[in-house]
Structure 1
Amino acid sequence: MTSTVSPSYLPTLVGRSTAWNPKYTGDFDHFGVDTKRNKLLLAAEDHGTVEVFDLMTGAHEKTLTTFGTPHAILYLPRLDRFVITDSGKGGTKILDAATYKVVGHIALAPGADSMAYDKGTNRLYIVSGGKDAGMTSCLINEVDPATGKVKRMLHIDADHVEAMVPEAYGDRLFVNVPSENLVAVVDKKTLTVVARWPLAGAKTNLTMALDEADHRLFVGTRNPSKLFVLNTETGKTVATLDAPATSDSLFYDKAHKRIYIAGGDGRLGVYRQDDADRYTELGQVATASGAKSGMLWAPLDRIYLAVSPGDDRRGGAVMWLRVQP
């Protein structure tokens, strides 16, 4: 249901950066944050660049051009390096965070895209293969970030694998498999699929977030646009709610017990977690058409959104909103 809560509880727009490349066409993908230097990085996948902004002010500072089709960005503070997945010919790269110079590569099958980092085991999980790479199956690659070496690979008999979320205190990795309309549960110790949880009544599950403490997994679908809440102890769906359309990002705000879904239709959906099984839509915040990729940065209580201009329009923007208590 939709709440009649005061609009003062919804995120508010506080900034927008638009001037760095008015000729940009196509889509943006994921953000990453350099916590040492307060830099915000954005993968401009259809432009073959990574854009660097000041995290606080949003000012554009640099365009990195050593990429084919960049997707996911991860900063590793201990190593002071970035890992940036790339489905282009250059492949996935490791960058020195101070100079942005390429200092290594991770050897993967074509089509590297989604990435997740497991702090508990200090392992990266990177998806490669799939239909965009001309393959009928995908691989989940377990990578040592210190060396860039692939330690193990899990073959997924599906041509599309998307978001992944590892448990921080458990042994499971949750994986969206949109071509099969399900969530695959992977045992991190054996790197095998131990369960498959179907999503009834919806397809194209692209986004995911985890509330590990309450044993709840949040999954966003596009067809139709829904928010699914799954019990991670049973795999059962405990709630479904309507969501903004064409979303590429979903994030859980554990400090405020909220879920946010960014839609390409120009809406940010905001949901309150009343308890583990009950959820209320607080409302929708107007953003911008194409603002479907985003990130919650909890230290600043900010939501960053990348405004993709699409194939037929030019420009692009980064906007940020303040999360309200």
Structure 2
Amino acid sequence: MHRTPPVTLVAWTPLPGIEGDFDFLVLDSKRNHVIIAAEEHHTLEVFDAATGAHLQSVPGVKTPHTLAYVPEKDEILVADGGDSSTLFFSAADFRQVDRVPLIDGSVTGKTDSPDVGYYDARRHTFYIGNGGKSANLSYSEITAID
């Protein structure tokens, strides 16, 4: 029986002043940046994937959840539960370039609709789960955005 060596911690990056959960992360392969959804801090946090250095905090999101990097458009997609929308940011400068409203989850005071999502690179489609209890509805939806 062949055993691999145990996993080893190689680095960590402390973030003074940023409390709360990190929800999702995505790799911007063009710039080698890791972008993290800091849902309780209401920001996107950008790191250098090679060094772990914290590069910047990006405001303009309320409760970011799932993130996706779209290489063909060089954009970051954000399922924002606090805004009940999908936000589109330029990956080059984090300027918001578009917004698609989804089912309003704010009626319950929760900030988790939309929450989970998946970017299908082959179809160039972002699928987002939204609605349900968070929107005071008896059903949920899967929304597809091209």
The TM-score by the shorter chain falls in which range? Answer: 0.7 to 0.9
Which among 139, 142, 148 is matched to residue 141 of structure 2? 139
Q: 2:11 aligns with which of 4, 11, 15?
A: 15
Q: What is the 5 A alignment of 1:233-244?
A: none
The match for 2:65 is 71
TM-score by length of 1: 0.40
Rg: which structure is higher? 1
Asked if the contact 1:129–1:135 (Cα under 8 Å) also holds between the matched residues in 2, the reply is: yes
| SS at 1:131 equivalent | helix
Q: SS where residue 9 of structure 2 aligns?
A: strand
Matched residue, 1:315: none
Distance 2:55 2:27 in 1: 14
Distance in 1 between residues matched to 2:130 and 2:44, nearest whole Å: 20
Q: Find the residue that maps to 2:134 and give its secondary structure.
A: helix
Paired AA for residue 116 in structure 2? S
Alignment gaps of 5+ in structure 1 = 145-325
Q: TM-score, normalised by structure 2?
A: 0.86
Match of 1:42 in 2: 36
Residue matched to 1:122: 124
Contact 1:67 1:86 in 2 (8 A): yes
- What is the number of residues matched between the two proteins? 138
Alignment match, 1:92: 86
Residues in 1 aligned to 2:119 and 2:26: alpha-carbon distance in whole angstroms: 12
User: Is residue 49–residue 67 contact of structure 1 (8 Å, CA) maintained in 2?
Assistant: yes
What is the identity, as a one-letter code, of the residue corresponding to 1:112?
P
Q: CA separation in 2, counterparts of 1:99 and 1:72?
A: 19
TM-superposed CA distance for 1:27, in Å, is 1.5
**Residue 81 (str. 1) matches residue 49 (str. 2):** no
Structure 2: 5+ residue stretches without partners: 105-112
Distance (Å, rounded) in 2 between the aligned partners of 1:95 and 1:113: 17
Matches within 5 A, 1:66-215: 66-89=60-83, 91-110=85-104, 111-144=113-146
- Kept in 1, the 8 Å contact 2:84–2:101? The answer is no
C-alpha distance in 1 between matches for 2:75 and 2:61: 16
User: Alpha carbons of 1:90 and 1:120: their partners in 2 closer, same or farther (altered >3 Å)?
Assistant: closer
